[in-house]
């Protein structure tokens, strides 16, 4: 388990103090994939570097499996870091070394024999799907392949925790999904705790169990991924979710649409099994309402699907609309009125 207790990180410059992390409290359960999302400058990369003491907190405690990381001796910290591996955005590979030699590097530092290190490295080549590339150099690899080497290297010392700092942001969308699938596979096989720092809500939605949203150094929202997607409370979270769902339909857009008296333009939000139900057909048949779809999208999380539907409902009075709203609420479909005449 990872615990952050009132973590503060300040950088002192000649002119001012910069507060990068502002009194953050977090608990990350062992064996989970925990995501931290935020825009540039939110403090998320500083936060992950505090977990392995690459950055020392100005105040507060980082506790991992009962050990307070920022209070360990140098020798104790070196030993602990072998169980806290990191995957970097720009791979950080040694360009003069082959794939196998890059994976062997942390084992050499840990004092593992060359024979055992080579054997373990070749096994990890298979784990990350690079068989046949054992003796290739980084310059001969694609971005996705380089990141697979980075992941294999991070697994070399058989860590308990894998820290991923923007590990997919330098990759194209297809390669990003392949790397995310690899991380899921590794987590299942090795029961790792994975902490992912990202500015892409797609990454959070695809593989994370929990998410913390950071803004201006603070955690402004935290919870189960599905719950946060279904009910984002903070404006920054709402923006992330809307961007990921490609939900760019604003209330102002309705001004461009002419509707008649007793018409409604609404946004339906739904999740789980509701995403597979024929909602439009149901509304038409059960409530005798004409429905014109204006915009819709569905995305998938680890725990189910989420989605939205913007629709023009024609010729229904307030009582009929209230009956529809009540019926859909019982089915866990929320209704937001965007325009009504």
Ranges of each domain in the chain: 2-243, 251-340
Those residues of the chain that have pLDDT short of 70 are 247-256, 272-276
In the CATH hierarchy, which fold is given to the domain comprising 251-340?
A: Alpha-Beta Plaits (3.30.70)
> Could you tell me what percent of the chain has a pLDDT over 90?
53
Report phi then psi at 63, rounded to 5.
-115, 120
DSSP state of 207: H
Give ∠ CA 54-41-223 in degrees, rounded to 5: 85
DSSP state of 263: -
Domain 2-243, classified CATH 3.40.718.10, yes or no: no
Q: Residue 251 has what pLDDT? A: 55
Is the fold of 2-243 the same as that of 251-340? no
Q: Residue 78 has what pLDDT? A: 86
Q: Residue 252 has what pLDDT? A: 52
Non-local CB neighbours of 155 within 8 Å, separated by 6+ positions: 85, 124, 127, 128, 162, 186, 190
Cβ distance 197 to 42 under 8 Å? no
Q: Residue 305 has what pLDDT? A: 74
Burial 288-320 (b: 16+ CB within 10 A, else e): ebebeebebeebebeeebbbbbbbbbeebeeeb
Outline where DSSP puts E strands in 184-321: 193-198, 210-215, 218-224, 264-271, 290-301, 304-314
Q: Residue 329 has what pLDDT? A: 85
The predicted model scores a pTM of: 0.84
């Amino acid at each position: 388990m990872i615990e952050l207790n009132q973590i503060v990180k300040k950088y002192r410059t000649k002119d001012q103090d910069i507060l990068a992390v502002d009194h953050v409290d977090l608990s990350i359960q062992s064996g989970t994939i925990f995501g931290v999302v935020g825009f540039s400058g939110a403090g998320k990369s500083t936060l992950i570097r505090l977990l392995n003491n690459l950055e020392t907190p100005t105040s507060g405690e980082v506790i991992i499996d009962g050990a307070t990381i920022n209070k360990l001796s140098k020798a104790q910290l070196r030993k602990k870091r072998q169980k806290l591996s990191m995957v970097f955005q720009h791979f950080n590979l040694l360009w003069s070394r082959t794939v196998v030699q890059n994976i062997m590097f942390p084992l050499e530092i840990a004092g593992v024999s060359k024979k055992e290190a080579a054997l373990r490295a070749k096994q990890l080549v298979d784990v990350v799907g690079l068989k046949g590339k054992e003796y290739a150099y980084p310059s001969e690899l694609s971005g996705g392949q380089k990141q697979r080497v980075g992941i294999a290297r991070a697994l070399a010392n058989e860590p308990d925790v894998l820290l991923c700092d923007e590990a997919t942001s330098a990759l194209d969308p297809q390669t990003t999904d392949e790397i995310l699938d690899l991380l899921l596979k590794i987590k299942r096989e090795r029961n790792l705790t994975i902490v992912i720092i990202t500015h892409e809500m797609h990454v959070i939605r695809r593989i994370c169990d929990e998410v913390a949203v950071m803004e201006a150094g603070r955690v402004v929202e935290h919870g189960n991924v599905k719950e946060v997607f279904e009910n984002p409370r903070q404006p920054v979270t709402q923006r992330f979710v809307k961007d990921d769902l490609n939900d760019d339909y604003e209330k102002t857009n309705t001004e461009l649409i002419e509707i008649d008296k007793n018409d409604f333009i609404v946004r339906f939000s739904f999740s789980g099994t509701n995403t597979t139900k024929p909602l439009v057909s149901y509304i038409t048949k059960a409530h005798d309402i004409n429905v014109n779809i204006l915009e819709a999208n569905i995305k998938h999380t680890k725990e189910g699907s989420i989605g939205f539907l913007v629709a023009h409902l024609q010729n229904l009075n307030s009582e009929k609309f209230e009956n529809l709203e009540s019926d859909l609420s019982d089915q866990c479909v929320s209704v937001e009125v965007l325009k009504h005449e």
